Amino acid sequence: MRTFNKSFGKHNRQRGAVLVISLLLLVVITTLAISGMNTATTELAMARNDQNYEYAFQAAETGLENIMARGRFVPSPTPLDLGESYVTGSSSDKYQGTLIYEAPTLVPDSAFSLGVGSGISAYHFLATSEAKSMRAVSATDRDSSALHTQAFYVVGPGDDSL
C-alpha cells in the first residue's frame, strides 16, 4: 500500500506542474497577441497619415496645374489670388492658389533662339498652391498640408525698362 501512495503523490505533483506551465504559456501567448494588435493599430494609423499627406500633395499639384492652365499671365504688381477650390470628388481636399508677377528680364541666350537684344523679354511669375487635406469637418491633429511653388517665365514683347 505504501508503493501506491508514493506513486499517487508523484502523479499529483506532476499535474500541478503542468497546470502552472500551461498558465505561463497562456500568459505569454496573450501578451504576444496584444502586442501584435497594438503594432497593427499603429501601422494602420501610419498608413492613414501617409495617405492623407498624399491627398494634400495631389491637391497642391492640382492647384499648380490649374494656375498654369489658365494661360492669362498679366504683368501686374498685385498678386492674383485665385481663391480656394476643392479638388474634384472630395469635400475634404482643397487648395488655395496665388500667382505673383516678379519682374521682367532679358531672355537668356540659351533659352530663346533670338537671343538678347531681339526686343523680346522674359516675364517672370511665381505660382503657389497651398493645399489641405482634412479627415473630418473640423480641424484635427491628423490633417495634412502641402505647399508647392512653381517659378516660370513667359516670353513676350520687349519691356522698355530693360
- Give the 3-state secondary structure of 47-114: HHHHHHHHHHHHHHHHHHHHHHHHCCCCCCCCCEEEEEEECCCCCCEEEEEEEEEEEEEECCHHHCCC
Domain boundaries, the chain: 2-157
Distance in angstroms (rounded) separating the CA atoms of residues 22 and 35: 20
pLDDT by position in tens, the chain (length 162): 445 555 555 555 555 778 888 999 999 999 999 999 999 999 998 998 898 899 899 999 999 998 888 877 888 888 888 777 776 556 678 888 889 999 888 876 665 656 555 678 888 999 999 998 887 666 667 789 999 999 998 888 877 665
Tell me if the pTM is above 0.85: no
